[in-house]
């Protein structure tokens, strides 16, 4: 198995800083406080880097949801932990590592909408263009074709999450 670099550490960090500015710009006239929800485990590095660069009050929440086994989506969503505070009337930003089939994100969004937030947006580090997932992603880091990505939180069977760049398995 050969690992190749797709986006080096500098490119990833620069793009995340740009995304933080886009997010600030969107929210600046709407609210002073943002509820950011990190989708674990894969989004942890992206989430941390993103919120460190958002110049406003950010409340953190975490959900642990998965649908992958190896390199394929199982199509079955497993919820391991969920948001434990009210989101009614709040400005919510879901922070996701990668949107592929969209199944996991669709599941999360349908649940979060039940809380009746004032606003619900999505920031994704990666949007894969393999599937027509039909989910409008508000803030996208990188768009990629059909490659299996690792690094910067993305894993292959729980390995490679801690790579400081985004690579792919050839």
- Please count the structural domains in the chain: 1
Catalytic residue among 29, 100, 119, 138: 100
Mean pLDDT of 7-12: 98
Kindly give, in sequence order, each residue whose CB lies less than 8 Å from that of residue 165, ignoring residues fewer than 6 positions away: 5, 6, 7, 8, 9, 12, 151, 152
Give residue-wise pLDDT tens across range 51-95: 999 999 999 999 987 665 554 555 666 655 557 778 999 999 999
In a domain, 156, yes or no: no
Cα–Cα distance, 23 to 123 (Å, whole number): 9
pLDDT for position 152: 96
In a domain, 104, yes or no: yes
Find the domain containing 107 and state its range: 10-26+33-145
Domain CATH for 72: 3.40.50.2020
Handedness of CA 56, 57, 63, 64 (dihedral sign): positive
Choose the weakest-confidence range: 12-21, 39-48, 126-135: 126-135
Residue 155 is among the residues annotated as catalytic for this protein = no
């Amino acid at each position: 198995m050969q690992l190749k670099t797709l986006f080096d550490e500098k490119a990833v960090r620069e793009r995340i800083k740009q995304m933080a500015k886009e997010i600030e710009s969107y929210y600046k006239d709407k609210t002073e406080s943002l509820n950011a929800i990190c989708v674990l485990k894969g989004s942890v590095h992206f989430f941390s880097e993103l919120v460190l660069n958002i110049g406003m009050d950010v409340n953190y929440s975490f959900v642990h949801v998965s649908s992958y086994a190896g390199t394929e989506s199982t199509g079955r969503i497993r919820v391991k932990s969920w948001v434990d505070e009210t989101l009614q009337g709040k400005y919510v930003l879901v922070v996701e590592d990668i949107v592929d089939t969209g199944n996991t994100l669709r599941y999360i969004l349908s649940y979060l909408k039940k809380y009746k937030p004032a606003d619900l947006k999505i920031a994704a580090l990666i949007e894969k263009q393999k599937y027509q997932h039909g989910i409008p992603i508000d803030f996208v880091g990188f768009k990629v074709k059909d490659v299996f990505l690792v690094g910067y939180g993305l894993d292959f069977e729980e390995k490679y999450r801690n790579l400081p760049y985004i690579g792919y398995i050839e």
